[in-house]
Amino acid sequence: MFYMGGLLLDEVYLQAPRPVLRALLGVLGVDGGSYYYRYYRLICFVLRALLGVLVGVWFWGTYTFWLKNCTSAAIDFSKEVFPALLSELKSLVVFLRESKGGRLGFPTSLLSDREQGGLSRAAAAVRLVSGRVVVVVVLEFCSFTTVNKTVEGTVFIDVKAPIGTTDDDFICATLDWWPPEKCDYGSCSWGLAGILNLDLSRNILLNAVKAFSPLKIRMGGTLQDKVVYGIDDNQQPCTSFVKNTSEMFGFARGCLPMNRWDELNSFFQIAGVKVIFGLNALTGRTIDSNGEAVGAWNYTNVESFIRYTVRKNYTIHGWELGNELCGSGVGTRVSANQYAVDTAALRSVVQNAYENVDSKPLIIAPGGFYDSDWFKEYINKTTKSLDVVTHHIYNLGPGVDDHLVEKILNPSVLDGESGTLSGLHNIIKSSSTSAVAWVGEAGGAYNSGHNLVTNAFVFSFWYLDQLGMASKYDTKTYCRQSLVGGNYGLLNTTNFEPNPDYYSALLWHRLMGRNVLSTSFTGTQKIRSYTHCAKQSKGITLLLINLDKNTTVQAKLAFNGTMTLRRKIRSRTSHHKHKIRKTTVIKLPKGTDAKIRREEYHLTAKDRNLQSQTMLLNGNILSVNSSGTIPPLEPVHVNSAKPITVAPLSIVFAHMPDVAVAACKAQP
């Protein structure tokens, strides 16, 4: 502190006019030429000491303020702030030692012109570096300390009627064709996670899939339209994908051997998977000078493959035609009119192949990025041939983006995808089609995602918000890219241990029912809120996502419509069920019995590190045991009369089994 005070004094001396210093010395009783220099060192010593004390008092006061007002988890002061300050001071000392003539503490009149030049440079250094010290102190406190505040808010839930419905098995994940040689930005993140080489014998993989019972798995991806099926009528060798930079997407075509198809289906049957298989839609076409794939689809190999599947009694939930060929396409594109013709052809192939099978697979397409004009034309031309309209979502941009975390925590970015979801919803509503909407593939950040972002805790903010938003717009199924593979897998690519989003998906699957209720939140714009009728249980389930790093939210509930508390509530004269028939906003009665409780699931990151791959449920680490068993997801029980507490940067599922509402009485 003494040294810092000296630096401040030296800076004042070097910048102040000599008359000002003489006047200051005069006030102190020192005057005259020789006395000016004789007492200068003594005066400097005293002033250094005084300024050092003042700096110390300021520093201690700031530190005390931090202790009183900042969260203890935000920073280790001794390990983070002090080292930063010490580093700045060391850089100052080194600079001054290297400065020519930099002898602070002496009057400039005693120095030569050359020395004064060096001292001027030293003075500039003092001004620069001492300013940096002050800035560092401010920045260290601003960036490392988080003043945690609490705000109250209200969740408004309209319980009169659902605004949308989902499939019971809404959660879906993908398996992709990428071989180990697939690399993005210098990182090869797929390993042995592709369809052709995934190790299906691992017990942890089986347990992870069976936990959903059933889980929809969509098989497809970028190389889907370069796959041939290794059946008897295929005259060419059945080999895996080979890297070839001159080919579209950097790989020559690959082949699916039927023995591998047999292995996959054996696993799917044991694990209870609903299979959606993406078919090659480019066979027989040529790509013109404009980059458009033209000509009729040659489905000969596809038809043989489908018939083989039927003969083997493999259950396929849906056949999907093509991958990202709609609109402007990725790699190439097919016109909406031609795609409609090809969809009708696929339906005919499936109908013929499944002629003697009672349950026929869904016809699904186009599996690409939403383009309103293209989708409108296609949907209107496939009213008799299409069951499911699929589109893909990568709204966060490329995986190499260093600002993905900021995007994920930005409500405006999250809201951006609502235009796509609502646009497709409106096209379907205005058409005579009976087809429904699915998100067929969604990885958030394209080109395999971003390690320690799209496979870390922070991505659950994006993922769960996507699930909630898609449900609001009547999306029936949401397929996450990927189950395993890349940097956005629900499971680790090498050891198959669940990443945080796996547990988020499993909680959604177990808690969120089919009927979607209109939900809004007032109090802060950083809370995302979604409500569904409870899954396989009474009541409702509320999802709250807190994007704010400094604010704890106390959320009260309000319902618009008719609701019943299933259990008895206490009154002065009797015990009875409490039913409210108002159509205005109401709150839970103050006299609610303490026995009426809700189940809460609080999700946080380990050590509050958003880029951690370890998730905590109600403060406990979620991890598989040595046998690869998925851990139980147990709630905490809270008095329903109390507000729901949502900590900063956390996620809460709240299941309220005792709240009966009209919108949940007749779930489809």
Q: What is the pLDDT of residues 289-341, one digit of tens each?
A: 999 999 999 999 999 999 999 999 999 999 999 999 999 999 999 999 999 99
Section 241-247 average pLDDT: 97
Share of the chain above pLDDT 70, in %: 73
**What value, to the nearest 5°, has the Cα angle with vertex 566 and ends 564 and 570?**
95
Confidence of residue 593 (pLDDT cuts 50, 70, 90): low
CA distance 19 to 160: 82
From 4-18, 121-135, 363-377, the region with the lowest mean pLDDT:
121-135
Q: Helices (DSSP H) in 150-229: which residue ranges?
A: 203-210
Is the pLDDT score of 227 beyond 90? yes
Q: Average pLDDT over the chain, rounded to whole?
A: 84
CA 457 to chain centre: 7
CA distance 326 to 424: 14
Q: What stretch of H or E contains 518?
A: strand 512-522
- Joined together, the tokens standing for residue 618 give 């109600």
Choose between 401 and 94: higher pLDDT: 401
3-state secondary structure of 268: helix
pLDDT of residue 338: 98
What lies within 8 Å, CB to CB, of 245 at 6+ separation is none
Per-residue H/E/C for 212-224: CCCEEEEEECHHH
Nearest to 110 by CA among 240, 232, 241, 18: 18
pLDDT of residue 232: 79
The number of beta carbons lying within 10 Å of the beta carbon of residue 93 is 12
Give the active site residues. Answer: 324, 441
CA distance 414 to 408: 7
CA distance 569 to 555: 22
Choose between 373 and 72: higher pLDDT: 373
pLDDT of residue 595: 77
Cross-strand bridge partners of residue 392:
441
- The letter for the amino acid at 545 is I
Query: What are 621-663's pLDDT values in tens digits?
Result: 999 999 999 999 999 999 999 999 999 999 999 999 999 999 9
3-state secondary structure of 73: coil
Q: Are the C-beta atoms of 660 and 564 separated by less than 8 Å? A: yes
Nearest to 67 by CA among 137, 141, 174: 141
The number of beta carbons lying within 10 Å of the beta carbon of residue 309 is 22
**What value, to the nearest 5°, has the Cα angle with vertex 516 and ends 323 and 519?**
115
Nearest to 495 by CA among 156, 203, 186, 136: 203
Choose between 468 and 111: higher pLDDT: 468
**What value, to the nearest 5°, has the Cα angle with vertex 650 and ends 644 and 651?**
65
pLDDT of residue 275: 99
Is the pLDDT score of 144 beyond 90? no
Query: What residues does each domain of the chain span?
Result: 2-144, 149-158+538-664, 173-514
Section 527-551 average pLDDT: 97
Query: What are 474-523's pLDDT values in tens digits?
Result: 999 999 999 999 999 999 999 999 999 999 999 999 999 999 999 999 99
Is the pLDDT score of 409 beyond 60? yes
Query: What are 19-28's pLDDT values in tens digits?
Result: 555 555 555 5
Section 226-233 average pLDDT: 91
Is the pLDDT score of 377 beyond 70? yes
Strand 563-570 and strand 575-580: pairing? antiparallel
From 72-86, 204-218, 366-380, the region with the lowest mean pLDDT:
72-86
Choose between 93 and 179: higher pLDDT: 179
Q: Tokens 């090498």, residue?
A: 494
Q: Are the C-beta atoms of 509 and 520 separated by less than 8 Å? A: no
pLDDT of residue 594: 62
Confidence of residue 40 (pLDDT cuts 50, 70, 90): low
Query: What are 474-488's pLDDT values in tens digits?
Result: 999 999 999 999 999
What lies within 8 Å, CB to CB, of 372 at 6+ separation is 423, 427
Q: Are the C-beta atoms of 301 and 228 separated by less than 8 Å? A: yes
Confidence of residue 105 (pLDDT cuts 50, 70, 90): very low
Is the pLDDT score of 573 beyond 60? no
Section 378-400 average pLDDT: 99
* C-alpha to C-alpha distances, 79 to 84, 129, 220, 467, nearest whole angstrom: 9, 22, 48, 40
The domain 173-514 belongs to what CATH superfamily?
Glycosidases (3.20.20.80)
Choose between 145 and 342: higher pLDDT: 342
pLDDT of residue 236: 82
**DSSP 8-state symbol, 110:** G
Query: What are 151-160's pLDDT values in tens digits?
Result: 999 999 999 9
Cross-strand bridge partners of residue 229:
256
Is the pLDDT score of 35 beyond 70? no
Q: Are the C-beta atoms of 144 and 80 separated by less than 8 Å? A: yes
Q: Helices (DSSP H) in 16-76: which residue ranges?
A: 18-27, 33-38, 40-69
Nearest to 440 by CA among 361, 367, 364, 382: 367
According to CATH, what is the number of the domain 149-158+538-664? 2.60.40
CA distance 150 to 499: 30
* C-alpha to C-alpha distances, 660 to 216, 422, 513, 514, nearest whole angstrom: 30, 29, 14, 15
Section 430-447 average pLDDT: 99
Section 216-223 average pLDDT: 99
**What value, to the nearest 5°, has the Cα angle with vertex 201 and ends 198 and 205?**
75
